[in-house]
A and B are shown apart, each in its own frame.
Chain A
Amino acid sequence: MRFAVTKVCASGAKARAGLLQIGSSGVETPALLLSTRKGLPAFMSPDLLSSLPLPDSLLLNVCPTHFIEVPPSKTISNIGGLHRMLGLPDHILVAAAGESTECLPSSDATNKFGASFETPAGRKLVKPSDYMELISCLQPNLWASLADEVPAWVNEKRNKTSVERTLRWLDACIALDAASGRNSLGVVVGGSSIEQRKLCATEVSKRNVSGFWIGGFGLGESVEERCSLLNAVTDCLPLEKPRIVSRLGLPEEVLEGVASGIDLFDSTYIYQLTMGGFALIFPIDMVEREMQNGVFDSSAGDSAKINLRATTYRKDMSRIVDGCTCFTCQNHTRAYLNHLINVHEMLAQILLEIHNTHHYLRFFRSIREAIKAGEFDIFWKQFVENRRSQIAAAAIRE
């Protein structure tokens, strides 16, 4: 794995563009990790996945604990690891232990032996040795170490313990790794304590890791806290290694993360939108923003997304987003999606996941463009202002 920062924003801002190279695949950052279940997207089979923009859509987040029951490790190894098993030989697979839909960290049950997760098969305790056995047979391109992620409301003692455990488990994982941590991402926790966050980040930086996975966010901290915590962490991390943050999914959260020096984002935002019947429509660039101003009907959603379940779309023969080149917009109408959602057909989620992923990948592309043009600050400011004025206009209309 090779990572290089290719552009840093001027005037002291921390946003940066970079290039992540793994094998023969190179992906520009900031970038999005697509979320998966048992390695594949929730609804997009590989033939549908391959219609998404490349190389952006090569980056997938995989949760090893999805494979804790089946198949057995030996079978996974015999098949040839994740890439072979999933039929995705060219993709960049980044593994991390907990995620927000099927493998939630259960900090109450976590103890000194291992991290506990709530899974569809019940509560599972994962020790570093269990975790590394999975990692060694799955063979992802990058893997985050096992961590003790705790919600923002735990007491100081518990928070301190989580940092100690996370560091101990990081060392244990590296020790158990045949490549001695060459493809590892050290996890940084520390809850809502700036001090603990800085401590953890500094300590993790000392280890032989290829990058950093910033965890413990999206678990109850306030939006204001998060900004300062995130910056405290990135200030302590070396510039030349990639930083990934999990559970920051909303466009505004992504922009904040980018401004704090984050390179990769892992979240279930797209999955949650899809499950709710929402389709992203927010304008990607300045031209689109101007076109959208004043012509938006807020009765079914807001200017960022529409809820295709709403009756207003029953006979709407337009595309989700005019001019969108995704499979869904090239082939189907809002009316058809409205019907599918209302009769609970699986195709609804398939088509929505395709569009939402495509749209969000375009958003990331425009972020990269803005950074490379030295205009990230303007881009961010305009995006937020545009959102505020849309919401204000909608409020006035009501």
Chain B
Amino acid sequence: MALRFEVLGRFNRARAARLTLPHFTCQTPLFMPVGTQGTIKGLTTDQLETIGCQIILGNTYHLELRPGSQLIDDLGGLHKFMNWKRALLTDSGGFQMVSLLHLADITEEGVTFQSPVDGKPMLLTPEESINIQNNIGADIIMALDDVVKTTITGPRIEEAMYRTLRWIDRCIAAHKKPDVQNLFGIVQGGLDPVLRDICVRGLVERNLPGYAIGGLAGGEDKDSFWRVVAQCTAGLPEDKPRYVMGVGYPLDIVVCSALGADMYDCVYPTRTARFGSALVPEGVLKLKQNAMATDERPIDPSCPCMVCKNYTRAYLHCLVTKDPMGSQLLSYHNLSFMARLSRDLHMSILEGRFPEFVRGFLRVQVCLALQSLFYHI
């Protein structure tokens, strides 16, 4: 175990905690931006620090492809390679099974991908995934799990859940640096509460430093989504971090935090920025819309970030989807928004005003969003 997790404040199931990792001491709940190929698209490490990012993600599959985890290790690890001084988390490559499924073949041994770069077959076993992640050197590494889409039904889900438990043992055995890298297990089981329960118990038995709730955020309805999260957080240990993978939308983060989750990751804030959408308290502001061309307000008057302090919607409207600067400025704002959301969640729980925060958050999202249908916000 290479982390310390201290709960500093609570409200019902929600917790504000201090997560001490080898490279950085974080405050949870927190959102982790995704830097797939060893960079957050369009932002420097300096800017990420200014914004307040605490942990960023790197992707095992992509980094192994280019530049290669051995090269990263030879050059001193990913922290040194990209010059990021805070915490890193690498995922196992498992998600690519779902997102690149037509290129993947899953067996007990592992997953065979056909590389989209050069067509060569690549076999990702639990051992290989952990080996690659050991080379990359992130503070938190993820077990290779057998991920299935929640929209799939039938025996495949049960197969995947049991395989995930068998694979966690292989991951644990293969892990060479448990003193500096924390291996998180991932709870699978689709939308089936019985399967989820078996998986939770199985992982908890292995006494891992932290746990993730996987297999969600893939198109299932919200009602099923939060029930699974609620069930898992109820069964996972209190004194270890819980990470809901692939989440996401600010509303989902608030709900999951209320249910007792601590960490989140998603490409949404940065990806939607590149498509011209800014995150605002009311929801989403689509800067490409014609109405924005004459709108002299900042994206969000309440946002203290560099973009909102300097730029109008009208000017950003010219840039978005046309110039790289548009992507950069919007990504900067969106990640600032997510960092502020994380801070607000942590502080409101800590200071005993979590319910007020959630009510305020929902009021703006739901009521003002409805208002904007009738008037221009």
- A interface list, Cβ under 8 A from B: 37-38, 40-43, 45-48, 67, 70-72, 74-75, 78-79, 85-87, 120, 314-315, 317, 327, 331-333, 335-336, 338-340, 342-343, 345-347, 349-351
Contact status B311-A87, CB under 8 Å: yes
By a CB distance below 8 angstroms, the chain B residues around A351 are 44
Q: B310's contact among A87, A120, A315, A349, by CB below 8 Å, is which?
A: A87
- B318: chain A residues at CB < 8 Å are 38, 67, 70-71
With contacts A45-B329, A79-B314, A346-B327 known, is A120 near B322, CB below 8 A? Answer: yes
Whether B86 is near chain A, meaning CB under 8 Å from some CB there, is no
**How far apart are A319's CB and chain B's nearest CB, in angstroms?**
12
Instruction: Give the residue of B42, B44, B296, B324 whose beta carbon is less than 8 angstroms from that of A75.
Output: B296
Kindly state the separation between the CA atoms of A335 and B67 in the bound complex, as whole angstroms: 9
Q: A79-B312, A87-B311 are in contact. Are A70 and B317 (CB under 8 A)?
A: yes
CB distance from A339 to the nearest CB of B (A): 5
Q: Is the interface of A mostly helix, strand, loop or mixed?
A: helix
Name the residue on A nearest B323 (C-beta): A37
A residues in contact with B309, CB < 8 Å: 87
| A-B residue pairs in contact (CB < 8 Å), sample of 10 | A38-B325, A47-B50, A70-B314, A70-B317, A75-B314, A85-B314, A333-B81, A336-B82, A349-B324, A350-B42
- Cα of A338 to Cα of B81 in the assembled complex, Å: 11
Please choose the segment from B13-21, B33-41, B173-181, B191-199 that sits at the chain A interface, where 4 or more of its residues have CB less than 8 A away: B33-41
Q: Which residues of B contact A79 (CB under 8 A)?
A: 296, 312, 314-315
A342 in contact with B82 given A37-B325, A75-B294 (CB within 8 Å): no
Q: Is the CB of A347 within 8 A of B81?
A: no
**Nearest-Cβ distance from residue A35 to partner chain B, whole angstroms:** 13
CA distance A229 to B140 in the complex (A): 64
Query: Interface size for chain B: under 10, 10 to 19, 20 to 34, or 35 or more residues?
Result: 35 or more
B276 CB, nearest partner CB in chain A, Å: 13
- B75 interface contact, C-beta 8 A: yes
**Neighbour of A327 across the interface among B38, B46, B311, B324, CB < 8 A:** B46
In the assembled complex, how far is the CB of residue B165 from the closest CB belonging to chain A, in whole angstroms?
34
Q: How far is the CA of A67 from the CA of B317 in the complex (A)?
A: 12
- Report if B69 contacts A (CB, 8 A): no
Smallest CB-CB separation from A39: which chain B residue? Answer: B315
Chain B residues with CB under 8 Å of A338's CB are 67
A340 CB contact (under 8 Å) in B39, B43, B315 = B39
Contact residues in B for A38 (Cβ distance below 8 Å): 315, 318-319, 323, 325
Cross-chain contact B81 with A346 (CB below 8 angstroms): no
Q: Complex formed: what's the CA distance from A70 to B39 in Å?
A: 32
Interchain CB contact under 8 A, A350 and B75? no
Given contact pairs A70-B317, A75-B314, A347-B42, A45 touches B293 in the complex (Cβ within 8 A): no
- Minimum CB distance partner of B72 in chain A: A339
CB neighbours (8 Å) of A43 from chain B are 324-325, 328
Question: What CA separation (Å) do A381 and B377 show in the bound complex?
Answer: 62
Cβ B315 vs Cβ A71 within 8 A: yes
Chain B hits for A87, CB < 8 A: 309-311
Q: How close is B115's CB to chain A, nearest CB, in angstroms?
A: 14
Residues of A within 8 A of B43 (CB): 347
Neighbouring B residues of A74 by C-beta, 8 Å: 294
A85: contacting residue among B62, B81, B315, CB under 8 A: B315
Q: Does B44 lie within 8 Å of A336, measured CB to CB?
A: no
A85–B47 alpha-carbon span in the complex (Å):
21
Known: A72-B294, A79-B315, A340-B39. 16 other contacts (CB 8 A): A38-B323, A40-B325, A42-B323, A42-B324, A43-B328, A45-B325, A70-B314, A314-B71, A315-B75, A332-B83, A336-B81, A343-B62, A343-B66, A346-B324, A347-B41, A347-B43
B100 touches A (CB below 8 Å): no
Chain A residues positioned under 8 Å from B40 (CB to CB): 347
Q: Does B5 contact A (CB under 8 A)?
A: no
Residues on the B chain within 8 Å of A86, using CB: 315
Interface string of B275-312 (1 = CB under 8 A from A): 00000000000000000011010000000001001111
A71: chain B residues at CB < 8 Å are 293-294, 314-315, 317-318
Complex contact A72–B293 (CB within 8 A): yes
Contacts of A41 in B (CB 8 A): 325
Partner of B296, one of A46, A78, A315, A317: A78
B45 at the interface (CB under 8 A from A): yes
**Chain B residue with Cβ nearest A41:** B325
- The 10 A-B pairs at the shortest CB distance, nearest first, are namely A87-B310, A71-B314, A346-B42, A347-B39, A339-B67, A343-B37, A70-B293, A75-B294, A70-B318, A75-B314
Residues of B near A85 (CB, < 8 A) are 311-312, 314-315
Q: How far is the CB of A87 from chain B (nearest CB, A)?
A: 3
Min Cβ gap B326→A in Å is 9
Within 8 Å of chain A (Cβ to Cβ): is B205?
no
Residues of A within 8 A of B50 (CB): 47
Could you tell me the distance in whole angstroms from the C-beta of B38 to the nearest C-beta in chain A?
6
Q: Report if B118 contacts A (CB, 8 A).
A: no
Task: Scan residues 38-60 of chain B and give those whose CB is less than 8 A from a CB of chain A.
Answer: 38-47, 50
Tell which of A47, A75, A315, A339 has the most Cβ of chain B within 10 Å.
Answer: A339
Q: Contact mask B345-367 → A, CB, 8 Å, 1/0?
A: 00000000000000000000000
Q: Which residues of B contact A46 (CB under 8 A)?
A: 306, 310
Cα(A327)–Cα(B81), bound, Å:
16
Contacts of B327 in A (CB 8 A): 346
Report Cα–Cα, A38/B296, bound state, in Å.
17
Interface flag for B223 (CB, 8 Å): no
The CA-CA distance from A8 to B105 in the complex, in Å, is 74
**Chain A residues with CB under 8 A of B62:** 343
Residue of A at shortest CB range from B322? A120
Cα distance A315–B75 when bound, in Å?
Answer: 7
Task: Report Cα–Cα, A86/B315, bound state, in Å.
Answer: 8
Q: List the A side residues contacting B39 at CB < 8 Å.
A: 340, 345, 347
Least CB distance, A345 to chain B, in whole angstroms: 5
> What residues of chain A lie closer than 8 Å to B45, measured between beta carbons?
331
Q: Distance (Å) between the CB of A389 and the closest chain B CB?
A: 34
